[in-house]
Amino acid sequence: MPAMSLRFRILGSGSSGNAALLSSDDTRVLVDAGFSARKLGELLAGAGESWDRIDAIFLTHEHSDHAAALTGLARHARIQVFANRPTAEAVQRVLKHRINWQVFETGGTFRFRDFEVRSFAVPHDAQDPVGFLIAHGHDDLLSPRRSLAWLTDLGHAPAHVREHIREADILVVEANHCPVMLQADTKRPWSTKQRISGRHGHLSNAAARELLESIVSPRWRHVFLTHLSRDCNSPAAVAAACGPALSCGFSVVAPGAGTPLFEV
């Protein structure tokens, strides 16, 4: 019997929307759902899946580029949506239909089928934003334990965040903007630039590199650099800034793009 595996692919990443598909032999979940339900259905179809096969959504926070699909989930009421209470209340407040909420405590661990999920607080300008460390397997020959850390939307990385992501086999982390490009941008007002670059905004390329370099003896097999600004960053700039900090394989996910299936 082959060993059970953890399969992962980013369906889309960037300031306009973020979602990833995480699956095992028995379970399929989305980590965030930041596109319209129709668009996300198309992205799922491109990955050989559909809304009918999704069991749950793990939601990091209420911003539309992470939660937009919930507006269209009335036809998929069976899907369980895991969020902390402030996030669930912020999303539910603007919806006409009721979401099948499964509320967790930030900093705690919950189980969904064969996934064990640890949440941890991150500094971002939302109600109660979190990152996730998602583990699968029993650490034996037939079911080796594998884990993925999902870390997007944070202005800086406190010590507890660094400890959580050290343990992951796969790390998804944002490298949102180049400070020079952000300051030169003519589309964003000064207040928006201040929010993005602030301690509750988004990681710059340099901040992402500092974070990666600060982790001693990480378990990472692959790092995905994500949530790039379409106007204020580029894949080449991210690779130049962060690539030298990594001894494992890495991928820079272009704005609006996804990734092929990655199996651990």
Per residue in 238-257, pLDDT tens?
Answer: 999 999 999 999 999 999 99
Is 52 inside any structural domain?
Answer: yes
At residue 58, φ and ψ (nearest 5 deg) are -100, 115
Asked whether residue 263 is domain-assigned, the answer is no
Q: Residue 1's pLDDT band (boundaries 50, 70, 90)?
A: very low
DSSP assignment string, 43-107: HHHHTT--GGG--EEE----SHHHHGGGGGGGGGTTSEEEEEHHHHHHHHTT-SS--EEEEE-TT
193 found inside a domain: yes
At 150, which CATH number? 3.60.15.10
**Could you tell me the residue range of the domain that residue 29 belongs to?**
7-257
Q: Is residue 94 in some structural domain?
A: yes
CA 158, CA 108: separation in Å to the nearest integer? 17
Residue 1 lies in a domain: no
pLDDT of residue 3: 54
The structural domain count of the chain equals 1
Q: Is residue 2 part of a domain?
A: no
Whole-number pLDDT of residue 139:
77
pTM: 0.96
- pLDDT tens for 181-214 read 999 999 999 999 999 999 999 999 999 999 999 9
Q: What is the pLDDT of residues 81-108, one digit of tens each?
A: 999 999 999 999 999 999 999 999 999 9
- Residue 187 Cα distances to 100, 193, 201, 232, 233, angstroms: 38, 10, 18, 10, 14
Query: Distance between CA atoms of 111 and 220, rounded to whole angstroms?
Result: 23
Task: Return the closest-CA partner of residue 172 out of 111, 227, 233, 240.
Answer: 227
Specify whether the CB–CB gap between 91 and 67 falls below 8 A: yes
pLDDT at 142: 73
Map tokens 């099948």 to a residue: 100
More confident residue, 159 or 139: 159
**Residue 216 has what pLDDT?**
87
pLDDT above 60 (res 29): yes
| Domain annotation covers residue 53 | yes
Query: Stretch 35-42: mean pLDDT, rounded?
Result: 98
In a domain, 146, yes or no: yes
Structure tokens at 223: 């790092």
| The predicted structure's pLDDT at residue 140 | 75
AA identity, residue 127: Q
